[in-house]
Amino acid sequence: TAGYWNPGALVRINYPEITLMHDERFGGLFNYDFASVALPYGPDVSLGISLIRLGVDGIPDTRNAWIDNNGNGIFDNVDRLDYDKISYFSSADWALFLTYSKKVDETFSYGANVKFVRRSLGDQSATGIGFDIGLLYSPFTDFYLGVNAQDVTTTLVSWSTGRNELISPTMKLGTAYFFDMLGGRFAPTVDVDIRFENRRFASIAHIGPISLDPHVGLEYELGGLAALRLGYNDVKQVSFGAGVHLRRLDIDYSFARVQNRELGDTHRISLRLIFQEDRFARGSE
């Protein structure tokens, strides 16, 4: 998943991997899906391809279903709908990531994404291309600092209607530390999204036009076989998770509850398949 979170970290894999994730957000209102393939290449490079879809499906289109009984073009009664003429469409964002990641030495690695964006809304669509740059630094054992500059050159998205929009850069800074305690391994994490969109009223904190949205998390892993997780994000959402780690397969699940109960809960499940065989290992012929 480093292709999304931090391309500089993808080089840490030692075997080919496939990841699939499905997220039903707000009681299934949004569907969020992710798939990726990552390969070690040579002694110090990894390559990856990732695909993301975030969409709302089954949106009713009633534009051609109204019956104008008055002939004045004013529709204020639901009984004037011809339900047989209602069609349905989706609103979806797609993103395809091509990732390159390289290890400089045991403490530092970097990576980059080329990503292609596709948006659709009914019979309208948009395309764009963007770039991400990620860095991972470990100044001492089990302590990591990460930086991911998303849409670093500002991503232009061009609509079929002739309208253009810009996706501004986002800087993600994060840190994690691993230590042993209570018969297992703890990993507290903290990160912050730094945006430059003047989000004065849609962020946790801001300094002029720069907004700051922090997240914190904690993982407890027991014997490398099972993990429990707790998180808190910038929309005041608490999430809980658990994972089972087998030799070649990881299964992870998380649950998040929002303050507004009418929106419903969020469930996420992911599978990671690791081709953990000597013939596929990094450095093998």
Structure token digits, residue 146: 């990460």
Instruction: Give me the pLDDT at residue 285, please.
Output: 63
Torsions phi, psi of 134, nearest 5?
Answer: -125, 145
Dist CA 281 CA 16 (whole Å): 8
Instruction: Give me the pLDDT at residue 74, please.
Output: 60
Q: DSSP readout, 247-284?
A: SSEEEEEEEEE-SSGGG--EEEEEEEEE---GGGSTT-
Strands (E), 178-209: 179-181, 184-195, 205-207
Question: What is the value of pTM for the model shown?
Answer: 0.86
Dist CA 191 CA 233 (whole Å): 10
Instruction: Give me the pLDDT at residue 69, please.
Output: 59
Q: DSSP readout, 119-148?
A: EEETTEEEEEEEEEEEEEEEEETTEEEEEE
DSSP 4: H
User: Which residues touch 59 (CB under 8 Å, ≥6 apart)?
Assistant: 88, 89, 90, 91
Structure token digits, residue 262: 């009418």
Instruction: Give me the pLDDT at residue 71, please.
Output: 57
- Spell out the per-residue pLDDT of the chain, length 285, in tens: 999 999 999 999 999 999 999 998 776 778 899 999 999 998 999 999 999 999 988 888 887 777 665 555 565 555 577 788 888 888 899 999 999 999 999 999 999 999 999 998 888 899 999 999 999 999 999 999 999 999 999 999 999 988 998 888 999 999 999 999 988 999 999 999 999 887 777 777 888 888 899 999 999 999 889 999 999 987 778 899 999 999 899 999 999 877 666 777 888 999 999 998 888 888 776
Burial of 264 by CB count in 10 Å (0-12 exposed, 13-18 middle, 19+ buried)?
middle
Report helix, strand or coil for 183. coil
User: Which residues touch 274 (CB under 8 Å, ≥6 apart)?
Assistant: 15, 16, 17, 247, 248, 249, 250
C-beta separation of 218 from 189 below 8 A: yes
Instruction: Give me the pLDDT at residue 81, please.
Output: 74
